[in-house]
Structures are given as C-alpha cells and as structure tokens.
Chains A and B, each alone.
Chain A
Amino acid sequence: MAAPMAQLCVNLLPKRLGLMSQHINCSCVFFSSSSPLRQPKPLKHVVNYQRTRAEVARALRRKQNFLHHEMVDKHRASPLQSGTAQISEESGEGAPREYRYVMPEFLPNPDFQYRDKVLEKMERRDMLRRRAVIDIPEFYVGSIMAVTVSDPYSPGKTNRFVGICIDRGGRGLKAYFVLRNVVDGLGVEVMYEMYNPTVHSIQVLRLEKRLDDQLYYLRNAPLEHSTFSFDTQPVNLPRDAPVPVNTTKVKLNPKPWEYRWERFNLKGIEPLPLTAKMERGIKEHAKPWEEYDLMLKYRQTVNEDEERSIMTEVFQENSRIEGERKSSRAVLRRKK
C-alpha cells in the first residue's frame, strides 16, 4: 500500500524539491521492496519523536563522579566484588498492613536521589537498638502523652511534660513529635526527638486519634482545648481494641489567626463564618486535581514491595524486643 502512495508523491512533486528533501533528512527516507530507488520524503509534516542531538548528548553525558543507585546495588551484588558484606532481605511473617501508620518514621525518603539500601538498613538498626533500650509506644496525633527528659537546668535534673500531640514527622533518626499544653495560662509547645538519648521515657496517657493530621489550629482556639493536667492517669485500652477517634469539633477564636485556617479543609473545627474575600481565597488556592494525580501519589510514597520488606524487618525485630521485655518483667515479678 505504501509503495504506490510514495510513487504518487514522486509524480506530484517537482524534481528539485524531491532532491532537496533527500538532502535535508537522509535518515527518514522510505524504502520499498517494489522499487529499489530511494523515495523522497512526503511533504506531510512528520512529528519528530527523535530527540535533538543536544538532548541526546545531555542524556548520554556520563556523570563522571555519580552513579545511579541501581548501578551501585548491582556492583554490591556482583560476584567480582569482595570484602564487603551484602545486606540480606527479610523473609518470614509479614507485618500487618496498618503497621506503616504505627511506625511511619521507618519508611525512607521516597525521593530516589537520596535513597541507599545500606544506609537505610544501618539507620533502622540504630533505631531498633534505641527502641530496645526505651519503650517508644504506639501513638498518634491527638494522643495525650507524657515525656521525661534529662534537663541540666531543673533542680532534679529531669523534666516531665504532659500534653497533646499536635504533630508528628521526620524520618529515621530525625523523627520528632510536638506536645502542647497550657502552663500558668500560657500555651507551651515542646518538640521532642524520638531517638534523642536525653529522652528517658515516653508514656501514652490516652491513646486516641483526631480528625486532622496536624492540630496547630489549637493555637487559635480557646485554651481549654489544649489544657491537660500533669496528674492525668493513664487509661489502658482493652487488648486488640481499635484506636478510638476523638470527633470533638473545636470552635476557633475570632481573627487574627496564625494561618488562614479556612483554606486548610480542616475537619476538627466548627464551620467558620466566611466573608466573600475568604471564599475567593479558598477557590483560588484549592487544588482539587491533586486527588486524581496518580504520579503525585507515586512520588510521595515508597514502593509497596519495599515497604513490605522494611516493615517485615521492623515487625520481627520489634516483636522480639517485646518478648524479651515481657520475660524480663516476669523474672522481676518472681523475684519480688
């Protein structure tokens, strides 16, 4: 079918133009089995899917001092490599799916530029070692917690603070959480690093969740919402009970606010009285398409297979630590 069409093109074209097109682009010349002669390129505009020479050169430029992370892993596993041990993949009983919400700080940075298998493994090992020394319990944003740290400026050299967890973040050894409380009529927020050696104990007084991921709006709410007694007694949930969700709706103070809370789509606050200007701002800054942006989700989360292998390792190690802790407690009870 292509050959007669090409023939037709040749007949229609003036001779000189056909020659010119041959000169311009020799790589895209048609060949047909029926006619051994070179056929000129048709006049129709053809989209050039091939990149320009400069683009190709840029893509092929050897980064002289830089290796892709897959290439590094390939070299580590190469039979020609000697002297360095390889990290082993964990197998066995897998972690439950919701484990990523219990210990989110174990998931690495999803940006591939900053990922390295060996470094992540070493960091996890350090974190689990610290977890074997102090008990870092399961907690969420909205839980009431008590933290004891060593403090050189307090008379007893330790300081205990009680408050509501309003934020949780960071990855690896840099993981942190923020507690908020009211002391002498003044709102106080303290950020604690979870793996800091000055932390003596982390205790969850009331395990519960809130409707939002961050509770910074409590700064602009009446102080009664963030006031918690330092003598609060811990409340134990029954075993295997789901974590309760506190559906309290907070009524914010009138403006001025720290941020424009009406733009944050918060669920834990009562409906705000909106002016026309505020509504305009909401409409301007809304990003409704992000809900359907699959690539955005892909970039912001770790691959599911990798997550499973990481969480399996953490789950197994953590259950081993808890088993040891239980047996040591039993030994102590027997001694008493």
Chain B
Amino acid sequence: MKKRNKSTHSCQSCVYKINMASKSVVTLGVRPLSHSFLGSASASVYLGSNSVCLQQVRHRRFPKFVVRPSTRRPWHVRKWTEKRDESLDTSNENFIKEVIVDKYAGAVSSPLKDGPWERNPYMRETRRAGVLALKLGTLMHWKKDGTPFTVTVLQVLDNHVINYVPPEVYATYPSHNPHQGLRFGLQVVGSLSCDPRQFSKPYNNLFLKAGVPPKRWLTRFLVTPDAAIQPGTALDVNHFKIGDYVDTQGRTRDYGFQGVIKRWGMKGMPKSHGTTKSERKMGSTGGGGDKDGIWKGKHMPGMMGNHLRTMYGLKICRINTRYNLLYLAGVGVPGLPHTFIRVSDTVLPRKQRSEEQMSQVSMPTWFPEDAEEDSLPEELFSEDVFQFTEPSLQLEAEES
C-alpha cells in the first residue's frame, strides 16, 4: 500500500473516474486547472483536452461508495428558516394562506412573460431533462402470455422547471466536469410546492424567475441546449411515452450503523465449539508479508445505506395520465416508498429509441397543446401487458 501511494498526487479528490466499468490496474487521474481560470471569459477556448493534466495513478481501486462531506456546498443557499410570526391569530393566518394561493395559482396558469422557446426535433445526441417522482411501491402484473412480473409505480407530482443554465455559464461552475466540454447545460427541476414562509429569503428568490411557488425538493439534469425547457413550465407524466426505457436514481434506505454481516454479507464465526463473543465479528483483516497492513477499502462495520444509487434501463409499461403514474416493469428502484426519484431517459446504448420512437418524442417536453383534439386517454398500456378488463387467456387447442 505504501508503494502504491507514492505515485499518486496529494489531492485525492481531484481524481476523476474515467472508466466506471473497468477494474483495470492502471487508471488515469485527471486534475482540472484552477476554477478561477475556468471562470475567465476565454474559458470555452481552453475547454478541450488541454485543460486537464493527465497523470498515471497506479493500482487505484474505485471506492464502493463516495462518502460525501457533511458541510454544505458553498454555492447552496440556506433552505429552511425557523422564523415564525407568533402574533398572528387564526383569521390572519387564513388570510395569508389565501393570499399565497391567489398569488401563485394565477402565476402558474398565466402565459409566460417572454414568448415560448423554439422547439427542436429529437436527435440521437439529444439529452432531455427528466422529472422528479415519488416512489409509491410495487404491484403484480401479468403479460398477455400469462407471465407474471412486478411493476414499480412512481408518481410525478407537481413538477416545474425552475431554471436553465446555458453551457457557457455552466462551464464556469465548480461542479462542471471539464470532460463534457460545452455539451451540456443545466436544467433545474423542482417538485412539491410549499408555503414560502417556511423557507429562507435567498431560497425563495431562486423561484422568482420561474414564477412558481417554492419547491420542497430541487434537482438538476444535464441537458443538451436543443432540449432546454423554459423556466416555469410544468412537467408531468406525458414527458415519457409507453415503451421508453428510463434510469431511476435515488437514495437507498438508511440502515444506520451496521455490522459486517448485514453490511457486507460476511459469514461471522461459529456459535459454539469454543467461540465466545465472536459470532458476528469479521475475523482477520488481512495477511502478512508483502501484503501486510489494512488495505484501503477493507470491508468493516459502518454506516449502511442512504447512498445515491441508479437503476438503469427500466421499461415503461403503463401510464396513468389522471394521477400522473408511471408503471415501470421491474424492481430495483432505490429506496423505500415515498422516496424522491430522478427519472430520465436511459443512457444505456442498447436501449435507445428506435427511429419510429424518435419521431414521437415530445421535445423538449410535453405541452397540453400537444394533445389530440379528443382528450388524452386516462390509461395507456404497453402492447404486451395484460389489461384487467380483458377476458381470461385462451390457448388454442392443437389439431392432431
């Protein structure tokens, strides 16, 4: 271990992952230049491969998960406030609530201040924004040939686009990955409107541009500039179509501090034959000689769960447009029910849209004007999913 560390540079946090899938012995550590440089006017000129210095890092294994610092990000504003006006009585309180509803209900339905943005066709390179959904739970469904499968149900509740940051500006952000160059801009999406009095003033100011009530939860998606959505636009389940594949990202269930048996699946030790107080312990931590010491990444007890995880490539098999429900074929969406999930078009190359599907994508998102003259059907099904209004499955008898 000592030998391995000699070749790495001192700033470990600057090592970027280049190839997630490979566990090769040799990987590349990439150190971006200083952020002040990126903030300069000529940033876009230098954002090629020149902006990073390539340095070989030998024998570095990728960590199982990244422990995020507990300190707040410097660019995040303070969200919650405890300030409360205690002098208000019930009638005043109700009046203020009415004012809040009047203010925002009108603002959301009013036409946007500047004209609608241009709508571009969907291309292979396009990456659209996603939505923020709540995981509701799982159900049992059947295919038309009688095969059972499990669906995970997500609800897209009260989503609005809050902000769009073009690529030139995003390149000056400290969170920008220089490998992406000027390909992506930032699309900020929020969900669940709240009473603005419980948030701090700088947090409420984030929503002035969009003209929507402050949201409980914000997230950002990397989008290509042709798929940028105007702030203030409402997003709902029609953003996706039946048959699309989506990636779902969220935080896993928080187990707290756990031992090695639950956390890493170790075997423990025998319960009898002279063993005392070691039934659930981990045993040896390593060998000796050349490989002595405790290596980095050794599986040990610690905090388990509450990690950001992504489930790739789940197919949308059913949509409910009235309650904004997405039915995904399969399980593995992270977290307990009522977890916030980021849902976006999949990045898996084998599950991209066909030419026919590409012509039907709503770009940059679905607007109510896109609906056909007759109103949208309440429920949409994939072709191979059994609908419960259909008769039972009949198999034709073979002639012999």
A interface, CB within 8 angstroms of B? 63-69, 72, 75-76, 78-85, 87, 113-116, 118-119, 122-123, 126-127, 129-130, 132-134, 150-152, 155-158, 172-174, 193, 195-200
Q: Mark B215-243, 1 if CB is under 8 A from A, else 0.
A: 01000000000000000001010000000
- Asked whether B324 lies within 8 Å of A84 as measured between CB atoms, the reply is yes
- Asked whether A80 lies within 8 Å of B194 as measured between CB atoms, the reply is yes
CA distance A113 to B105 in the complex (A): 32
Residue from the list B136, B216, B336, B395 in contact with A150, Cβ < 8 A: B395
Tell me which residues across on chain B come within 8 A of A127, comparing CB atoms: 388
Q: Does B140 contact A (CB under 8 A)?
A: yes
Tell me which residues across on chain A come within 8 A of B236, comparing CB atoms: 83-84
Residue from the list B156, B320, B335, B393 in contact with A122, Cβ < 8 A: B320
Q: Mark B314-357, 1 if CB is under 8 A from A, else 0.
A: 00000010111100000000011111100000000000000000
Chain B residue nearest to A121 (CB atoms) is: B323
CA distance A207 to B223 in the complex (A): 62
Q: Mark B365-400, 1 if CB is under 8 A from A, else 0.
A: 000000000000000000000101111111111100
CA distance A204 to B339 in the complex (A): 43
- Asked whether A119 lies within 8 Å of B153 as measured between CB atoms, the reply is yes
- Asked whether A65 lies within 8 Å of B335 as measured between CB atoms, the reply is yes
B interface, CB within 8 angstroms of A? 100-101, 104-105, 108-109, 134, 136-137, 139-142, 146, 148, 153, 155-158, 192-195, 213, 216, 234, 236, 250-251, 254, 320, 322-325, 335-340, 386, 388-398
- Asked whether A122 lies within 8 Å of B134 as measured between CB atoms, the reply is no
Q: How far is the CB of B70 from chain A (nearest CB, A)?
A: 11
- Asked whether A83 lies within 8 Å of B134 as measured between CB atoms, the reply is no
Q: How far is the CB of A267 from chain B (nearest CB, A)?
A: 33
**In the complex where A85-B322, A126-B388 touch, is A80 in contact with B134 (Cβ < 8 A)?**
no
- Asked whether B146 lies within 8 Å of A150 as measured between CB atoms, the reply is yes
- Asked whether A198 lies within 8 Å of B193 as measured between CB atoms, the reply is no
- Asked whether B337 lies within 8 Å of A113 as measured between CB atoms, the reply is yes
CA distance A85 to B320 in the complex (A): 11
- Asked whether B397 lies within 8 Å of A157 as measured between CB atoms, the reply is yes
- Asked whether B193 lies within 8 Å of A197 as measured between CB atoms, the reply is no
- Asked whether A72 lies within 8 Å of B388 as measured between CB atoms, the reply is no
- Asked whether B250 lies within 8 Å of A82 as measured between CB atoms, the reply is no
Q: How far is the CB of B253 from chain A (nearest CB, A)?
A: 9
- Asked whether B389 lies within 8 Å of A72 as measured between CB atoms, the reply is no
Q: How far is the CB of A153 from chain B (nearest CB, A)?
A: 10
CA distance A231 to B397 in the complex (A): 23
Tell me which residues across on chain A come within 8 A of B336, comparing CB atoms: 66, 113
Tell me which residues across on chain B come within 8 A of A80, comparing CB atoms: 100-101, 104-105, 158, 193-195, 213
- Asked whether B395 lies within 8 Å of A157 as measured between CB atoms, the reply is yes
CA distance A122 to B340 in the complex (A): 20
- Asked whether B193 lies within 8 Å of A81 as measured between CB atoms, the reply is yes
CA distance A153 to B107 in the complex (A): 63
Residue from the list A63, A64, A84 in contact with B158, Cβ < 8 A: A84
Residue from the list B325, B337, B392 in contact with A198, Cβ < 8 A: B392
- Asked whether B101 lies within 8 Å of A67 as measured between CB atoms, the reply is no
- Asked whether B142 lies within 8 Å of A197 as measured between CB atoms, the reply is yes
CA distance A83 to B158 in the complex (A): 7
CA distance A296 to B353 in the complex (A): 51
Chain B residue nearest to A201 (CB atoms) is: B392
- Asked whether B157 lies within 8 Å of A81 as measured between CB atoms, the reply is yes
**In the complex where A78-B193, A80-B104, A81-B158 touch, is A174 in contact with B140 (Cβ < 8 A)?**
yes
Tell me which residues across on chain A come within 8 A of B157, comparing CB atoms: 75-76, 81, 84
Tell me which residues across on chain B come within 8 A of A133, comparing CB atoms: 388-392
11 contacts between A and B (CB under 8 A): A69-B337, A72-B134, A75-B192, A75-B193, A79-B105, A80-B105, A80-B194, A113-B336, A122-B323, A193-B140, A195-B388
Q: How far is the CB of A60 from chain B (nearest CB, A)?
A: 11
Q: How far is the CB of B187 from chain A (nearest CB, A)?
A: 19
Tell me which residues across on chain B come within 8 A of A79, comparing CB atoms: 101, 105
Residue from the list A76, A119, A150, A173 in contact with B393, Cβ < 8 A: A150
Q: How far is the CB of A207 from chain B (nearest CB, A)?
A: 23
**In the complex where A75-B192, A79-B101, A130-B388 touch, is A114 in contact with B337 (Cβ < 8 A)?**
yes
CA distance A64 to B132 in the complex (A): 14
Tell me which residues across on chain A come within 8 A of B155, comparing CB atoms: 84, 118
- Asked whether A67 lies within 8 Å of B338 as measured between CB atoms, the reply is yes
Q: How far is the CB of A39 from chain B (nearest CB, A)?
A: 29
CA distance A158 to B392 in the complex (A): 12
**In the complex where A80-B105, A150-B146, A197-B390 touch, is A66 in contact with B395 (Cβ < 8 A)?**
no
Chain B residue nearest to A198 (CB atoms) is: B146
Tell me which residues across on chain A come within 8 A of B195, comparing CB atoms: 80
Chain A residue nearest to B214 (CB atoms) is: A80
Q: Kindly name the residue among B142, B156, B236, B392 whose own CB sees the greatest number of chain A CB atoms within 10 A.
A: B392
- Asked whether A85 lies within 8 Å of B193 as measured between CB atoms, the reply is no
CA distance A152 to B105 in the complex (A): 57
Residue from the list B134, B139, B323 in contact with A172, Cβ < 8 A: B139
Residue from the list A64, A118, A174 in contact with B323, Cβ < 8 A: A118
- Asked whether B105 lies within 8 Å of A116 as measured between CB atoms, the reply is no
- Asked whether A67 lies within 8 Å of B146 as measured between CB atoms, the reply is no
**In the complex where A75-B192, A82-B108, A118-B323 touch, is A199 in contact with B392 (Cβ < 8 A)?**
yes
Q: How far is the CB of A108 from chain B (nearest CB, A)?
A: 10
Q: How far is the CB of A295 from chain B (nearest CB, A)?
A: 22
- Asked whether A84 lies within 8 Å of B323 as measured between CB atoms, the reply is yes
Tell me which residues across on chain B come within 8 A of A76, comparing CB atoms: 157
- Asked whether B338 lies within 8 Å of A68 as measured between CB atoms, the reply is yes
- Asked whether A197 lies within 8 Å of B392 as measured between CB atoms, the reply is yes
Chain A residue nearest to B146 (CB atoms) is: A198
Tell me which residues across on chain B come within 8 A of A115, comparing CB atoms: 337
- Asked whether A65 lies within 8 Å of B392 as measured between CB atoms, the reply is no
